Amino acid sequence: MLEPPVKKILYWCEECNVPLVGKTCACRKEGKRIELLQPYDVRPALAADTALIHSLVAERFGSVPLQKILLLNKTGGADRADLVIMNGERFGWLTFDPVTRSFSLDIAPESLPFLIGYATKGIVDLDRETGIRSEAGRVGGKRLPLRTPVPDGTMIVKYRQRFGTGMVRDGSVKVKELIPVVPRSLPDPGWEVAVEKNRYHLKNLERNAIRAIKQHLSDRPTANVSFSGGKDSTAVLHIARKAGVTKAFFIDTGIEFPETIAFVRSQGVDIIQKAVDFWQAAEKAGPPGKDHRWCCKLLKLHPLKLYLADVGPCVTVQGNRWYESWNRAGLDETSQNPANPLQLNISPIRNWRALEVFLYLWWQDLPINPLYDKGLERIGCYLCPAMLESEYEELKTIQPASAERWTAFLESWAAKKGYPEAFSSWGLWRWRALPPKMRELCRQKGIGINDDFTLKTGPARPAAVSTVDMKGGETMKPAMEKVTGRGLNVQEVRKDFPILGDIIYLDNAATSFSPEPVIAAMNEFEH
């Protein structure tokens, strides 16, 4: 099957005012091109996201009506960073500051036609506030002192009959280009209209995914679906069942959201509870990191190996996508699991963006994990290092006991090891070697970093009580105790899962972009 290219462009029907999966709308109009930011994933703003954007706009500009359809294009940053798209235009950038623990929305110039005429505050009149004269020349790009106190942050800038955007800092405003702006008012359709206008393309996506599954079902004696409880695996579960796959499993790590466990049960998926105690391991190994994912081997790959030992050779359908991260951008349709050489993984929706996934779920009237409406972008373990700090703030509301236990552990570990408080409070625990964006943040804030990009340590501080004895809510019980009563056998896990090169950890399995780990695992299995 011909591999589709990575979609770097979003199409938007200006007639119906809806995003498009393909180039054309059901109304037969060709869509307007919108360039996306890497990794080119775009998703609907759901309940919590929409409420957040509304509150930030209202706080800054007053009662401004926003459209029902808002899109979020995630991109790189110190933490959460999303380009907000409305009416087929860039509306602004939504970001979370891991230090101040606050969100901000910086408007884009393209948002001005939808703000002018409604905004009752957040407007800087350069004539009045700066006294700039018309003969002063071009003001775009200049930083101008303000006469009266104006709150820091994004602003609408007005100068004579032109408008622009500006950023206020420390009593002055930096002005971007000023242009004539004509207020615009467009249709305000709901997501049900977007689904209807994309029905033809959604049918094609489903047809291709079913075909991809069916052509590999005979590669192994049995087939199953790896279910994570997230949107992608929900779509894949439905598609796989249409393709004739009836078995599905979910690896319960013991540190799952209760909402996810309930959702998995509602989908008729087998829950595999063979994981060892995360907390016991964390007391010895410390918190896992994005570059130190011992938790995946311990809580997912090892239980998966035990499960597959009974299942035997199998094809596993999973919901991994190119657009989730840069790591997954080269994911093939099929991939061998190096840790479980008799398992062949299929990724039939690897070329779908989150937009396609949600539209498909709504089209098929499928249930969606309620955690998405609460502000989470990805669903996994509640303390996963791949989670954003903005999502961890949501955890404090969704599952306060779980958040309290993990925070206590991080603070205790930082104290014992002599790490700065930012190790816990800024989310620096998520890396062993800090990436460039976090190194720059530490440099700005005066946090010391070693030559190998690890955090500098100081004298140990008195640590709080061990978190192993704390209660953390419904999902805090070690899953291993619930089924077998076995404790942590580190040597067994190390033997089965040595550190392999070029491994990409996925929701409920692992795959590899390099054949060497697969060959080594197969040789070990046959030996």
Q: Which residues contact 492 (CB under 8 A, 6 or more apart)?
A: 302
Q: Do 98 and 208 share a domain, yes or no?
A: no
pLDDT in tens, 45-103: 999 999 999 999 999 999 999 999 999 999 999 999 999 999 999 999 999 999 999 99
Residue 511, helix vs strand vs coil? strand
The pair of three-digit structure tokens given for residue 523, joined into one six-digit string: 């040789």
pLDDT in tens, 101-146: 999 999 999 999 999 999 999 999 998 887 665 445 577 778 899 9
Please check the confidence at residue 176 and state whether its pLDDT lies above 90.
Answer: no
For residue 471, what pLDDT is reported? 53
Residue 157 lies in a domain: no
Q: Do 105 and 246 share a domain, yes or no?
A: no
Count of the separate structural domains present in the chain = 2
d(C-alpha 341, C-alpha 123), whole Å: 62
Q: How far is CA 1 from the centre of its chain?
A: 29
Q: Do 207 and 86 share a domain, yes or no?
A: no
> What counts of helices (H) and strands (E) characterise the chain?
18, 21
Q: Do 219 and 363 share a domain, yes or no?
A: yes
User: Before 385, cis peptide (omega within 30)?
Assistant: no
Residue 121 lies in a domain: no
Last residue of a domain, one of 82, 109, 136: 109
Could you tell me if 435 and 470 are in contact, meaning their C-beta atoms sit under 8 angstroms apart? no
For residue 183, what pLDDT is reported? 94
Residue 188 lies in a domain: no
CATH number at residue 464: 3.40.50.620
Residue 126 lies in a domain: no
For residue 512, what pLDDT is reported? 40
Of 244, 262, 331, 314, the closest CA to residue 507 belongs to 331
SS3 string, 218-239, reads HHCCEEEEECCCCHHHHHHHHH
How crowded is residue 114: how many other Cβ atoms within 10 Å of its Cβ? 23
Q: What is the DSSP string of 291-309?
A: TB-HHHIIIIIHHHHHHHH
Residue 179 lies in a domain: no
For residue 5, what pLDDT is reported? 62
- List Cβ<8 Å contacts ≥24 apart for 462-466: 462/415, 463/412, 463/413, 463/415, 463/416, 464/408, 464/411, 464/412, 464/415, 465/408, 465/412, 466/283, 466/412
Of 63, 64, 81, 83, the closest CA to residue 73 belongs to 83
Residue 153 lies in a domain: no
Last residue of a domain, one of 57, 92, 109: 109
Of 224, 237, 296, the closest CA to residue 267 belongs to 237
Please check the confidence at residue 4 and state whether its pLDDT lies above 70.
Answer: no
CA distances from 137 to 140, 159, 181 (A): 9, 12, 20
Q: Do 98 and 204 share a domain, yes or no?
A: no
| Phi, psi dihedral angles at 485 (to 5 degrees) | 75, 10
The whole-model pTM stands at: 0.88
Residue 163 lies in a domain: no
CA distances from 92 to 46, 113, 284 (A): 17, 13, 44
Last residue of a domain, one of 75, 109, 143: 109
Instruction: Identify the domain containing residue 35 by its residue range.
Output: 1-109
Q: Which residues contact 204 (CB under 8 A, 6 or more apart)?
A: none
Q: Do 79 and 215 share a domain, yes or no?
A: no
Q: Do 276 and 396 share a domain, yes or no?
A: yes
Q: Do 104 and 204 share a domain, yes or no?
A: no
d(C-alpha 164, C-alpha 109), whole Å: 6
Residue 128 lies in a domain: no
Strands 334-336 and 343-346 turn out to be antiparallel
Q: How far is CA 214 from the centre of its chain?
A: 30
